[in-house]
């Protein structure tokens, strides 16, 4: 094949833009670390030093995180950046950001093979660019989430599946990567199974032409699932879905309204929930205007997962998909769209974007189809380029304002920024003992252990007894993190005021009444990025308060 340098240069430019969007100030924006990020970072550090996670579990199949579970692949891969760049926010987010850049390359390769006319790579270029600048893709690439690694592996497997229709020997590679993606994120477990069934059913005539290769592929997939079988009975494998689904009797009783009183009410309730949740992922309002309604750390202010203008190419893209529905690639895309929101629709959280990144990638591809069609209306290349450049620039401006400016100020609390600032203050007061209230920020202890490179052996000694022999099966043990002169746990008023130490908490943790009642002496404030007081530190006065006890 003759190399077209014009398109190679454009691709390099797109990858450069995407790398800038994903790596620029990634250690400052979002400011701080979430609970998941802190856990991944410290576990990677602990694995690097001891071969065990912070609970002392050697090479876990799934990682514990308080009463929840984290899928393992992201944490294992984070060992490399932690080794190379040390314990920093950059290291924790590196795998996610890199996955985001790789996803653009995969998208380009996939679309370039779809285009019949190899001389014209416009669809591949547009799709790569759309993935590069789409708000969902930028947002999730800049936080360390297993989901961004999951979507990259999943799309890579789609690429191999598509290629395997022509080169059947690639089928085992496709199933292997698909199997691997189930270790990258929860949603991929269901998505992968549905995708494989759908793919086999759609292309059964082609696939079954070489049964040996098909059997080899399935065997490889089963091998990748062995670790899941190992923990299948422990409850850890299904804990997350049990925590977030709407199948329980209690949830039905509390939320079903009049359905409680009619026959088959529960089945009807579950059907209604599923249908409404599933439909919400196709709602233009959710896709193009309203941000993700989950906790603040899952969205950016005033910007949804796509730009509002994208609704027009989306509609045209849908049309292209319907028109070209007999093509294998388009059939794969339609399959992805149909099954994409399935796993997320089993949960009670409305429009939880983190659970549908594969689906969002599919929607981005449809937008690329539509945009390609729109641009093909104009014959002049210069006019096309002008329109395209203006639209992309306006999108980048919108992204910059929402993400790089507003998110930093308005959402800093969701990323524990004030606790990071507190750590700087604590470092200047090494002689004092600190109790940091963790009622609303359970990750603060792990975060401090990570940044202070706290000896994993010591932390393992503290935490291992809590889960001894029941690593996968216990839930919610009361974890107290003691990192040098810092104790991260809820304040115990009866005891803590009788020790000479500093109590730190947010405005809900320590009230003005408690300050007066316990003779607390104000030391300092910690403000969030918007300038609001987030944390307050008080010195105790055991002499005054607890003398009567003596």
Partner 1 sequence: MRSLRKIVFGRREKFINLLVLVLNPWWWIIIQRNPWMGILVFILSLSVFLYFWQTKSKKLLFSLLTLTLILFFIAVRDAFDESLFRNSALNIQQYNKRHEFYAKDLGKIYTNKFSLTYFKEYSFPLIKLQSNLFANLDPNLYFFASHPRERLGVEEFKKYSPIFLPFFLIGVLYSIYILSPNLFIYSISILLLSSIISSKYNLGPILFFPLISYMITIGFILTGRYLVGRLRKRYES
Residues in the chain: 550
Rounded to 5°, the CA angle 222-71-420 comes to 165
**Which two three-digit tokens encode residue 537?**
């530190």
Alpha helices for 115-210 (secondary structure H): 122-133, 135-141, 146-164, 171-181, 186-202, 204-207
Nearer to partner 1, 129 or 334 (CB): 334
The verdict on 280 binding partner 1 (CB under 8 A) reads: yes
Question: What is the token pair recorded at 443?
Answer: 């990750």
Check residue 302 for interaction with partner 1 (CB under 8 A): yes
The neighbour count for residue 84, using CB atoms within 10 Å, is 9
Nearer to partner 1, 235 or 350 (CB): 350
Site string for partner 1, 90-109 (x = CB under 8 A): --------------------
User: Which CA distances in Å does 403 have to 36, 153, 360, 407?
Assistant: 20, 26, 19, 5
Residue 260 is a binding residue for partner 1 (CB under 8 A): no
- Residue (278 or 329) nearer to partner 1, CB: 278
Mask: binding to partner 1, 119-138, rule CB under 8 A, as x and -?
Answer: --------------------
Which residue, 79 or 352, has its beta carbon nearer to partner 1? Answer: 352
Stretch that binds partner 1, among 10-18, 30-38, 191-199, 345-353 (CB under 8 A): 345-353
Q: Which is nearer to partner 1, 66 or 309 (CB)?
A: 309
322 binds partner 1 (CB under 8 A): yes
Smallest distance, partner 1 to C-beta of residue 105, A: 31
Under the binding rule (CB under 8 A), the answer on residue 323 touching partner 1 is: yes
Cβ 531 to partner 1, closest distance in Å? 8
Residue 262 to residue 269: CA distance in whole angstroms: 11
Q: Any idea which residue has 């089945």 for tokens?
A: 267
Taking CB under 8 A as the rule, does residue 409 contact partner 1? yes
Per CB under 8 A, the list member of 279, 327, 393, 533 interacting with partner 1 is 279
Given the rule CB under 8 A, which of 46-54, 271-279, 504-512, 533-541 is the region that contacts partner 1? 271-279
CB of 337 to partner 1, least distance (A): 11
**Contact stretch for partner 1 (CB under 8 A) within 58-66, 137-145, 183-191, 287-295:** 287-295
**Coil, helix or strand for 300?**
strand
> 211 to 230, contacts with partner 1 by CB under 8 A?
none
Nearer to partner 1, 49 or 331 (CB): 331
Q: Which is nearer to partner 1, 113 or 308 (CB)?
A: 308
Give 306's DSSP letter: S
Q: 385: which residues sit within 8 A by CB, 6+ positions away?
A: none
Given the complex with partner 1, which of 210 and 294 has the nearer CB atom? 294
Binding mask 369-408 toward partner 1 (x if CB under 8 A, else -) reads --------------------------------x--xxx-x
Compute the least distance from the CB of residue 285 to partner 1, in Å: 4
Asked if 284 touches partner 1 (CB under 8 A), the answer is yes
Closer residue to partner 1, CB minimum distance, 285 or 453: 285
The residue (of 204 and 285) whose beta carbon lies closer to partner 1 is 285
Asked whether position 318 contacts partner 1 by CB under 8 A, the answer is: yes
- Shortest spacing between CB 276 and partner 1, in angstroms: 4
Q: How many CA atoms are closer than 13 Å to the CA of 108, on its beta-carbon side? A: 22
d(CA 445, CA 478): 13
For residue 38 the two structure tokens come to 């802190």
What is the C-alpha separation between 403 and 303, in angstroms, rounded?
8
- Distance from C-alpha of 33 to C-alpha of 54, rounded to nearest angstrom: 17
Distance between CA 531 and CA 523 in Å, rounded? 18
Smallest distance, partner 1 to C-beta of residue 409, A? 5
Quote the least distance from Cβ 113 to partner 1, whole Å: 26
- Report long-range pairs for 214-219 (Cβ below 8 Å, ≥24 apart): 214/171, 216/171, 216/172, 217/171, 217/172, 217/174, 217/175, 217/176, 218/175
Let me know if 487 is exposed, middle or buried by CB neighbors in 10 A (0-12, 13-18, 19+): buried
Tokens of 116: 């019949």
In the region spanning residues 489 to 518, those forming contacts with partner 1, defined by CB under 8 A, are: none
Which phi and psi angles does 487 have, rounded to 5°? -115, 120
Q: What letter does residue 476 receive in the DSSP assignment?
A: -
Question: Shortest gap between Cβ of 314 and partner 1 (angstroms)?
Answer: 10
Residue 308 binding partner 1, by CB under 8 A: yes
**Identity of the residue, 250 or 380, whose beta carbon is nearer to partner 1 in the bound complex:** 250
C-alpha to C-alpha distance for 437 and 258, rounded to whole angstroms: 42
Does residue number 319 form part of the binding site for partner 1 (CB under 8 A)? yes
Q: How far apart, in Å, do the first and last CA atoms of the chain sit?
A: 88
Is 282 one of the binding residues for partner 1 (CB under 8 A)? yes
Interacting residues with partner 1 between 23 and 62 (CB under 8 A)? none
Calpha distance 336→334 (Å, rounded): 5
CA atoms of 43 and 298, how far apart (whole Å): 22
Residue 207 in tokens: 């696939």
- Choice between 108 and 307, CB closer to partner 1: 307
Piece in contact with partner 1 (CB under 8 A), picked from 8-16, 163-171, 183-191, 274-282: 274-282
| C-beta of residue 300 within 8 angstroms of C-beta of residue 317 | no
* Residue showing tokens 């599923």: 274
Reading the block at residue 67, the tokens are: 């009463």
Binding mask 410-439 for partner 1 (x = CB under 8 A): x-----------------------------
Kindly state whether residue 283 participates in binding partner 1, applying the rule CB under 8 A.
Answer: yes
Binding site for partner 1 (CB under 8 A): 272-273, 275-277, 279-280, 282-286, 288-290, 293, 302, 308, 311, 315, 318-319, 322-323, 348, 350-351, 401, 404-406, 408-410, 530
């Amino acid at each position: 094949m003759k190399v077209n340098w014009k398109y190679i240069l454009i691709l390099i430019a797109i990858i450069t833009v995407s790398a800038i969007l994903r790596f620029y100030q990634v250690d400052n924006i979002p400011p701080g670390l979430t609970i998941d990020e802190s856990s991944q970072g410290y576990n990677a550090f602990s694995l690097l030093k001891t071969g065990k996670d912070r609970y002392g579990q050697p090479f876990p199949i799934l990682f514990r995180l308080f009463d929840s579970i984290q899928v393992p692949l992201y944490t294992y891969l984070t060992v490399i950046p932690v080794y190379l760049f040390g314990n920093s926010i950059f290291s924790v987010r590196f795998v996610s950001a890199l996955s985001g850049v790789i996803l653009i390359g995969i998208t380009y390769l996939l679309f370039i093979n779809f285009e019949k006319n190899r001389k014209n790579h416009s669809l591949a270029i547009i799709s790569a660019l759309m993935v590069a600048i789409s708000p969902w893709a930028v947002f999730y690439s800049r936080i360390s989430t297993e989901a961004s690694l999951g979507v990259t592996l999943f799309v890579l497997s789609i690429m191999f599946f598509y290629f395997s229709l022509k080169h059947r020997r690639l089928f085992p590679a496709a199933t292997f990567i698909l199997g691997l993606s189930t270790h990258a994120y929860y949603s991929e477990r269901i998505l992968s199974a549905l995708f494989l069934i759908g793919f086999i059913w759609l292309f059964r005539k082609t696939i079954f032409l070489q049964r040996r290769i098909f059997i080899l592929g399935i065997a490889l997939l089963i091998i990748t699932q062995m670790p899941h079988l190992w923990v299948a009975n422990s409850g850890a494998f299904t804990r997350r879905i049990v925590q977030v689904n709407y199948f329980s009797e209690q949830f039905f009783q509390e939320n079903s309204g009049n359905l409680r009183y009619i026959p088959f009410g529960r089945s009807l309730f579950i059907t209604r929930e599923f249908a409404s949740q599933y439909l919400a992922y196709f709602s233009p309002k959710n896709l193009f205007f309203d941000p993700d309604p989950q906790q603040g750390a899952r969205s950016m202010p005033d910007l949804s997962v796509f730009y509002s203008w994208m609704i027009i190419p989306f509609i045209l893209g849908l049309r292209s998909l319907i028109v070209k529905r007999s093509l294998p690639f388009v059939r794969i895309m339609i399959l992805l769209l149909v099954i994409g929101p399935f796993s997320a629709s089993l949960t009670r959280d409305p429009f939880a974007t983190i659970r549908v990144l594969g689906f969002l990638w599919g929607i981005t591809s449809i937008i690329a189809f539509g945009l390609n069609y729109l641009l093909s209306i104009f014959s002049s290349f210069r006019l096309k380029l002008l329109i395209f450049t203006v639209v992309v620039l306006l999108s980048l401006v919108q992204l910059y304002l929402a993400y790089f400016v507003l998110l930093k100020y308005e959402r800093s609390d969701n990323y524990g920024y004030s606790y990071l600032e507190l750590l700087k203050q604590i470092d200047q007061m090494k002689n004092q003992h600190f109790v940091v209230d963790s009622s609303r920020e359970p990750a603060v202890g792990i975060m401090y252990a990570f940044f202070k490179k706290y000896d994993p052996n010591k932390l393992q000694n503290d935490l291992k007894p809590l889960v001894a022999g029941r690593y996968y099966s216990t839930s919610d043990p009361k974890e107290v993190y003691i990192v040098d002169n810092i104790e991260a746990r809820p304040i115990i008023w009866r005891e803590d005021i009788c020790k000479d130490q500093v109590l730190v908490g947010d405005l809900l943790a320590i009230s003005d009444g408690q300050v007066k009642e316990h003779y607390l002496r104000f030391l300092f404030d910690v403000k969030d990025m918007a300038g609001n007081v987030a944390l307050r530190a008080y010195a105790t006065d055991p002499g005054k308060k607890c003398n009567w006890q003596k």
